[in-house]
Amino acid sequence: MLTDQDYPFYKLLFLFLVSIFSNVFSAISGGGAGLIQLPALLLFGIPYYQALALHKFATVALGIGGSLRNFRSYNSDLLIILILLIIGIPGVLIGSSLVMIISNEYLYLIIGLLSIFLGSYSFTKPDLGLTIINKNIDFIIWIKFIVFVFIIGILNGSISSGTGLLVTILLIKTFGLDFLKAISITFFCVGIFWNASGAIALSQIGVFPLKILIVLLLGSFLGGLLGAHLSNLKGNKIIKRFFTFLCFLVGLSLCLKFIREAI
């Protein structure tokens, strides 16, 4: 449910600029918009579940903006996309239902440490995600992929921050994709469909400020479009640097959040 609550123009403008910046950064590196956008919403005094829902609605616009330039390239990855949607979305819905039931602080710590690990792994593997590697994918690998997709879906529904990075690295490691291809699929599946499902589920809990939602949708779409354009210009090396840096940033942020909430 939406409410037409008034906010000062300068606050809405600030949130719009924050949204563009965070989503440009996210579109280049494959995730992490929630690291900046979600705390900005919480600073507005919006309850966590509402801020998470607003962020997810906005990230749908990011996914659309980030996917437009690469839409034609998805034909060769239809099976991967179908698994991400069919297995991931139920996980997102389960995670969204847990938001009001469980404490998220230990999940913050788990994803924070995992993000730092991913950043370290990316840093120590010079060739990771820079070229497409043809891999023989057997039945066991597909099963592992399905299990990880479901788990990440649950985390996406309950926390959001950092889960796009997990999907990106999962696609690279499982199928030998490069960063450009992996990020493109992540934005299409996670950015649009996972986040839309989570946002709709969370929207049943309470009311949401309409003006903030409009500002976030516009900023996210423009940020995603600009970030996707910059990604295609700069190529995989610069994307990998952004990805590695963002993994460390997300990891440290979530670990600090765990410490603050645990004290």
Nearest residue to 240 via CA among 163, 129, 114, 164? 129
Query: What pTM, to 2 d.p., does this model score?
Result: 0.76
pLDDT in tens, 170-187: 998 899 888 888 888 888
More confident residue, 136 or 152: 152
Higher pLDDT, 35 or 143: 143
Label residue 103 by pLDDT band (50, 70, 90): low
How much is the average pLDDT of 31-44? 72
218: tokens are 């516009």
Q: Check residues 215 and 183 and name the one with the higher pLDDT.
A: 215
pLDDT digits (tens, 9 = 90+) for 224-238: 788 777 766 666 677
- Checking if the pLDDT of 94 tops 70, the result is yes
∠ CA 161-3-204, rounded to 5° = 55
Cβ-count burial 22-33 (b if 16+ within 10 Å, e if not): bbbbbbbbbbbb
Strands (E), the chain: 2-3, 208-209
165: three-class secondary structure by DSSP:
helix
Report the pLDDT averaged over residues 192-211.
Answer: 80
Task: Name the amino acid, one letter, at 58.
Answer: A
The pLDDT assigned to 200 comes to: 84
CB-based contacts of 13, cutoff 8 Å, min separation 6: none
Tell me the C-alpha distance between 239 and 180, whole Å: 8
More confident: 263 or 19: 19
Domain-by-domain residue ranges, the chain? 2-262
Does the pLDDT at position 25 exceed 90? no
Tens digit of each residue's pLDDT (9 = 90 or more) over 64-88: 876 766 666 667 788 999 999 999 9
Residues linked to residue 1 through DSSP beta bridges, in sequence order: none
pLDDT bracket for residue 57 (50, 70, 90) = confident
Give CA–CA dist 38/52, Å, rounded: 7
- pLDDT 10s digits, 138-166: 899 999 999 999 999 998 887 766 788 78
Closest CA relative to residue 230, chosen from 5, 20, 14: 20
Are 55 and 216 a contacting pair, CB within 8 Å? yes
Q: What is the pLDDT of residue 236?
A: 66
Please check whether residue 243 is in contact with residue 128, taking contact to mean a CB–CB distance below 8 angstroms: no
198 pLDDT band, cuts 50/70/90, is confident
